[in-house]
């Protein structure tokens, strides 16, 4: 597709790609687990075999990135070398070891009239993935879609376009090598933003969209897409220290939730402390956070508990609503659990909230009243993770309520079909 392609050209090209994906998805839907696992290994082998070609294409992306003043962090996420490619290939082999999510019987019964009813998991069909400048996601998404019997139409962002083009070509060759259609994995990077827009509106051809990336990307997909999308990854997570929270649990859980890894959606962004516990807990908690390099955005009450030598900044309304993804933490003293829950209800993105408490009734009440994908009782928010939950590969962490909520494994890339067996049954 040249630079002069019109929106109409792009629309037909992308819709045609989706149509071919739909056709390919029919072959994937009936592929056995063995064939799919063979394909995953073939894909891994091919990536390793073609590593030099991929690295060469990646160099073009990096060059363009540097010319466009891409940040060092983004350049690092974009960069591929033989080692990284080997790791990406290993991840495909790992997906091959996971149970096949297709064909699982979810429910079933024999009805009073003798009809036998089975609800079984089946692939979605065509999964659209929209993500940013990370070529490893191209492989990851292709592998997860394949294992769950879905065709994938990938839109990876222009910054990684050269890498993605070669990677997808290599994966397609591997698919054909095991007798699967190459259209099962396609990239529409060549069609730019207009192509992404067409993908988001290819209702009927694309069965689900999974955006993976930052807030603005995900919000754009949710807003513009008529294809059902799964909202992932925004995490304004809270830790609440209840009146009965013991210091020896409070400090490590707050520290771990905030500082274990800061750029991730399950990191804590706000600390709420019951006012009865503030005098005994806050000085130590704030001191430990400061030592760990955390900037403390505190309300007036919390400021009063900062030990000497621990600087704080006054929190504004914005702080409560911000997912810092950095060594910053908002801190507020609350009157009681009610106020904590109100605060969370107002500012949370519905990802993960934690309570630290010794009181069984307080724990039960918190769990019952929090409306988020995950609630931690006396554990770090960092545990909300597909790998930690034992779900195998993680597609993302859904913060919406429809279809999937919390860490999504391969099973969340399937839907179900009811199969009904009769012997001539008609409705009386």
Report the interface residues with its own copies, using CB under 8 A. Answer: 26, 29-30, 109, 111, 115, 117, 119, 122, 124-125, 203, 207-208, 222-223, 226, 228, 230, 248-249, 252-253, 255-256, 260, 345, 367-380, 382-384, 388-390, 400-403, 405-407, 415-427
Answer yes or no: are the C-beta atoms of 257 and 354 closer than 8 Å: yes
- For residues 158 and 131, give the distance between their C-alpha atoms in angstroms, rounded to a whole number: 10
Q: Which of 52/204 has CB closer to its own copies?
A: 204
H helix runs in 192-309, sequence order: 192-200, 215-224, 247-259, 278-291, 300-303
Q: How far is it, in rounded angstroms, from Cα 170 to Cα 175?
A: 9
Q: For the CB of residue 294, give the shortest distance to its own copies in the complex, in Å.
A: 16
Q: Quick one: 60 or 118, whose CB is closer to its own copies?
A: 118
Whose tokens are 């290599």? That residue is 170
Tell me how far, at minimum, the Cβ of 326 lies from its own copies, in Å.
Answer: 18
Smallest gap from residue 414 Cβ to its own copies (A): 9
| 3-class state of residue 298 by DSSP | strand
- Beta pairing, strands 328-334 & 105-110: unpaired
Radius of gyration of the chain (CA): 24
Q: Between 186 and 384, whose beta carbon lies closer to its own copies?
A: 384
Q: How far is the CB of 271 from its own copies (least distance, A)?
A: 15
Nearer to its own copies, 217 or 377 (CB): 377
Is the CB of 177 or the CB of 246 nearer to its own copies? 246
Give the nearest distance from C-beta 116 to its own copies in angstroms.
9
Q: Which is nearer to its own copies, 66 or 403 (CB)?
A: 403
- Least Cβ distance, residue 165 to its own copies (angstroms): 30
H-only helix segments in 189-267: 192-200, 215-224, 247-259
Burial of 276 (0-12, 13-18, 19+ CB in 10 A): middle
3-class DSSP state for residue 81? Answer: coil
């Amino acid at each position: 597709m040249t630079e002069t392609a019109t929106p109409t050209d792009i629309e037909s090209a992308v819709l045609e790609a989706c149509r071919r994906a739909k056709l390919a998805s029919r072959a994937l839907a009936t592929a056995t687990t063995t064939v799919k696992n063979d394909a995953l290994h073939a894909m891994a082998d091919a990536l390793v075999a073609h590593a030099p070609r991929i690295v060469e294409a990646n160099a073009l992306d990096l060059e363009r990135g540097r010319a466009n003043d891409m940040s060092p962090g983004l350049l690092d996420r974009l960069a591929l070398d033989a080692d990284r490619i080997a790791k990406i290939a290993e991840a495909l082999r790992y997906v091959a070891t996971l149970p096949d999510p297709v064909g699982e019987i979810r429910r079933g019964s024999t009805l009073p009239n003798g009809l036998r009813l089975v609800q079984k998991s089946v692939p979605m069909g065509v999964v659209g993935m929209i993500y940013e400048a990370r070529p490893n996601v191209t492989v990851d998404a292709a592998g997860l879609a394949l294992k769950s019997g879905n065709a994938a139409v990938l839109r990876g962002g222009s910054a990684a376009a050269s890498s993605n083009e070669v990677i997808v070509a290599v994966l397609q060759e591997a698919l054909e090598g095991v007798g699967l259609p190459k259209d099962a994995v396609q990239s529409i990077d060549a069609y730019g933003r207009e192509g992404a827009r067409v993908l988001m509106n290819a209702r009927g051809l694309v069965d689900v969209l999974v955006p993976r990336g930052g807030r603005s990307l995900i919000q754009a997909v949710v807003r513009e897409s008529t294809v059902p999308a799964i909202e992932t990854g925004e995490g304004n997570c809270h830790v609440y220290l209840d009146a009965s929270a013991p210091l020896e649990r409070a400090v490590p859980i707050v520290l771990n939730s905030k500082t274990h890894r800061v750029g991730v959606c399950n990191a804590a962004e706000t600390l709420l402390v019951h006012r009865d516990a503030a005098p005994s807990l806050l000085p130590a908690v704030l001191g430990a956070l400061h030592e760990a390099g955390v900037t403390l955005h505190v309300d007036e009450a919390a400021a009063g508990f900062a030990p000497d030598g621990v600087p704080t900044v006054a929190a504004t309304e914005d702080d409560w609503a911000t997912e810092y993804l950095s060594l910053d933490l908002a801190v507020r003293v609350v009157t009681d659990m009610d106020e904590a829950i109100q605060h969370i209800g107002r500012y949370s993105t519905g990802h993960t909230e934690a309570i630290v408490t010794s009181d069984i009734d307080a724990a039960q009440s918190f769990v019952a009243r929090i409306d988020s994908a995950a609630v931690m009782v006396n554990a770090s928010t960092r545990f909300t993770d597909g790998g930690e939950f034992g779900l195998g590969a993680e597609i993302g962490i859904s913060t919406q309520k429809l279809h999937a909520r919390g860490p999504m494994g391969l099973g969340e890339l399937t839907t179900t079909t009811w199969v009904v067996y009769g012997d001539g049954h008609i409705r009386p």
